[in-house]
Amino acid sequence: MIRRFLTNFFQGRNGFDNIARAAWWVLLVFLLLSLIPGWFGFVCEFVVLALTVYIWWRVCSKNIYKRSRENAKYLELTAAFRTKFRDFKTRFSMRKDYKFFTCPTCHSILRVPRGKGKVQITCTKCGNRFSGKT
């Protein structure tokens, strides 16, 4: 019954997209900040309220075409940042076995096994050579 209602309700609606998810995280941050006593917390409460309305409006919007274009634009604008974040996560998970160097010439990231002492690193992209401590 509830399931059917929800399915019908979200039929033809935008749903929880990437922007809604990002807004949700921002909302959680402001929710924590709103615990601060005084005018600052008060302002944060309003931000939480505004974001709640915005997320609902987005999720329930029937103008899917427009919303998905906004979502695509959002993904495009944040692509560089999201790639950086993903790279950071991968590097963090491999930090015990590898050390990462940035090529001074082309700025590409190079992975070198740890514990080899001082080594000569040759960039795989541009062929530049530099030394580093692993």
CA distances from 25 to 18, 19, 38, 60, 64 (A): 11, 10, 23, 18, 22
Min. distance of Cβ 126 from Zn ion in angstroms? 3
Residues interacting with Zn ion, by CB under 5 A?
Answer: 103, 105-106, 123, 125-126, 128
Min. distance of Cβ 110 from Zn ion in angstroms? 8
Min. distance of Cβ 121 from Zn ion in angstroms? 10
Q: Which residue number, 51 or 123, has a Cβ lying nearer to Zn ion? A: 123
Q: Which residue number, 51 or 110, has a Cβ lying nearer to Zn ion? A: 110
Report residue 133: phi and psi, to 5°. -105, 125
Calpha distance 18→113 (Å, rounded): 36
Report residue 53: phi and psi, to 5°. -60, -45
Q: Which residue number, 29 or 126, has a Cβ lying nearer to Zn ion? A: 126
Min. distance of Cβ 123 from Zn ion in angstroms? 3
Calpha distance 53→60 (Å, rounded): 11
Q: Which residue number, 7 or 131, has a Cβ lying nearer to Zn ion? A: 131
